[in-house]
């Protein structure tokens, strides 16, 4: 039997291209809401909890890879049916405590309908990964009618982000199959990163108390 393709055929790639327009528009709306949130914090008298905001569209190659890895057909329809992180935004904040506050604000936003919420900050993944994931459905409206698409918003500290980028690179290099000694090292670093986040927050609180 011929194995299922692990890449998009020409026709499917063109179908995917058509579908991605809606995702790009939805992501732009989310970016605007996150920029507005940043503006709100900047205008206040307290320090801004947002370090920076990033966003990205998943490449066709990466979409195909994820579908193939899950044993799903590599088609535009399958991507739309099964993947919720084709469009993604990431908020990097200063302290772990800020994550829940930002998530609460986003969850109350009337333009963002929360579909799933995953708290890998208090419940890290076995890899050691920590981050807060919100999948929201967004309706770009206008010419698109009432069609909506998911956008994944990840909220994490700078330390968590640094760790995740490194782990992602290692995972990519070993094609997902990281040798045990490296996984153990990464898990240990994740714990150290968590400890660092806690210690930095403690210093921040102490300085606040001294200045009060």
Long-range contacts of 41-49 (CB under 8 A, 24+ apart): 47/94, 49/93, 49/94, 49/95, 49/98, 49/101, 49/102
Give the binding range for ligand 0O2 (CB under 6 A) out of 26-34, 43-51, 164-172, 192-200. Answer: 164-172
For 69, 71, 99, 141, 190, the CA distances from 159, given in Å and listed in that order, are 28, 33, 13, 37, 9
Does residue number 58 form part of the binding site for ligand 0O2 (CB under 6 A)? yes
Identity of the residue, 41 or 170, whose beta carbon is nearer to ligand 0O2 in the bound complex = 170
Does residue number 168 form part of the binding site for ligand 0O2 (CB under 6 A)? yes
The binder of ligand 0O2 chosen from 129, 134, 153, 159 (CB under 6 A): 129
How do strand 113-119 and strand 149-157 relate by DSSP bridges? unpaired
Q: How many residues bind ligand 0O2 (CB under 6 A)?
A: 12
DSSP-derived 3-state class of residue 90: strand
Q: Residue 138 in contact with residue 111, Cβ under 8 Å?
A: yes
Our answer to whether residue 152 is catalytic in this structure is yes
Q: Which of 152, 180, 185, 205 is catalytic?
A: 152
Task: Please say whether the dihedral angle defined by the alpha carbons of residues 186, 125, 90 and 194, taken in this order, is positive or negative.
Answer: negative
Does residue number 66 form part of the binding site for ligand 0O2 (CB under 6 A)? yes
Give the binding range for ligand 0O2 (CB under 6 A) out of 31-39, 71-79, 91-99, 122-130. Answer: 122-130
Q: Residue numbers of the site for ligand 0O2 (CB under 6 A)?
A: 58, 62, 66, 85, 118, 125, 127, 129, 133, 164, 167-168
By annotation, the residues acting in catalysis are 152
């Amino acid at each position: 039997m011929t194995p299922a393709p692990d890449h998009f055929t020409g026709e499917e790639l063109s179908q995917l291209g058509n579908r991605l327009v809606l995702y790009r528009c939805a992501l732009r709306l989310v970016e605007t809401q996150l920029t507005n949130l940043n503006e709100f914090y900047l205008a206040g008298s307290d320090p801004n909890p947002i370090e920076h905001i990033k966003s990205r569209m998943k490449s066709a190659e990466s979409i195909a890879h994820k579908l193939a890895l899950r044993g799903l057909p590599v088609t535009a329809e399958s991507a739309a049916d099964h993947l919720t992180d084709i469009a993604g935004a990431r908020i990097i904040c200063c302290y772990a405590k800020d994550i829940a506050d930002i998530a609460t604000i986003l969850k109350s936003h009337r333009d963002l309908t929360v579909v799933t919420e995953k708290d890998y900050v208090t419940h890290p993944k076995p890899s050691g990964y920590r981050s807060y994931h919100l999948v929201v459905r967004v309706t770009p409206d206008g010419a698109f009618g009432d069609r909506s698409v998911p956008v994944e918003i990840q909220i994490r500290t700078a330390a968590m982000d640094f760790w995740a980028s490194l782990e992602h690179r290692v995972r990519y290099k070993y094609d997902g199959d990281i040798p045990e000694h490296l996984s153990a090292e990464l898990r240990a670093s994740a714990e150290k990163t968590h400890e660092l986040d806690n210690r930095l927050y403690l210093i921040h609180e102490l300085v606040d108390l001294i200045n009060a």
